[in-house]
Amino acid sequence: MRIVLSRSTPDDHYASWLKRLYPHIELAEAYSAGTGSLDNVLQQCSGILLTGGADVNPARYGKAEEAPRCQGVDEKRDQVELGLVEIALERKLPLLAICRGIQIINVFFNGSLIIDIAEDYGIIVEHKNQTDVCHSITLAKNSNLYHCGKTDKTIVNSSHHQAIGALGKDLTPVARSDDNLIEAVELIPRCSHPFFLGVQWHPERMEFRHPMSEGIGRSFILSAMQYDTTSPH
């Protein structure tokens, strides 16, 4: 079974987390692949993981003038990841999006981002510091995310200065922080998909047995395994 990561290295937290969940997993990276190579990799993959990283180009959601307040904008990465979301939807590939990943999903569905939480939204809840911070989230009980972790309120790690602003079409919020920022999204019920989840925290950097780490990871892997056995490649 192969999972394609949008951008990763063989020994980073994402790879280690996935290999702990399923030791026999094969991993491939989309960012470094050429167009032909990426097409070939995607033909054989069973799931997609959008990893964390730098900010999405604000021009993609109508805020080009805010570029000086963004960090590490990478046009190639934006293009690669928006393409991966489209492929996941077209092929019904299980998709898990982490931190930047949830933001690129929201932009894909024509939503917008808060450029800087502290400056533009407030500091009731601390979402970023020099290292991971922690805060509580509340989950929607009717969500797939709730069934992954079997809890409606928990503590997660946090390391992001941007967040979802206007929610994208066809997305529904399934977790929020205490300051009401969206912390997780799924597709609305009419958009049938085996697994499509974006989370603002970093499950790959949390204590492994935490329900918002292991629970999410195992649900994603199980969905990818089912795709692997039922879909032609």
CA dihedral of 165, 167, 171, 174, whole degrees rounded to 10 = 50
Residue type at 152 in one-letter notation: D
Residue 99 annotated to the active site: yes
Residue 204 annotated to the active site: yes
Residue 134 annotated to the active site: no
Place of tokens 């500091």: 123
Please answer whether residues 158 and 200 qualify as being in contact, where contact means their C-beta atoms are separated by less than 8 angstroms.
Answer: yes
Helix%, strand%, coil% for the chain, nearest 5:
35, 20, 40
Of 99, 219, 93, 107, which is closest to residue 168 (Cα–Cα)? 107
**Which tokens hold the place of 165?**
């602003």
Q: Check 99, 127, 135, 210 and give the catalytic one.
A: 99
Q: Check 148, 204, 210, 214 and give the catalytic one.
A: 204
**Which tokens hold the place of 147?**
């069934």
Of 151, 163, 184, which is closest to residue 112 (Cα–Cα)? 163
Q: Check 183, 202, 210, 214 and give the catalytic one.
A: 202
**Which tokens hold the place of 206?**
């949390």
Q: Which residues pair with 5 in a beta bridge?
A: 29, 49
Please answer whether residues 144 and 197 qualify as being in contact, where contact means their C-beta atoms are separated by less than 8 angstroms.
Answer: yes
Which residues are identified as catalytic?
99, 202, 204
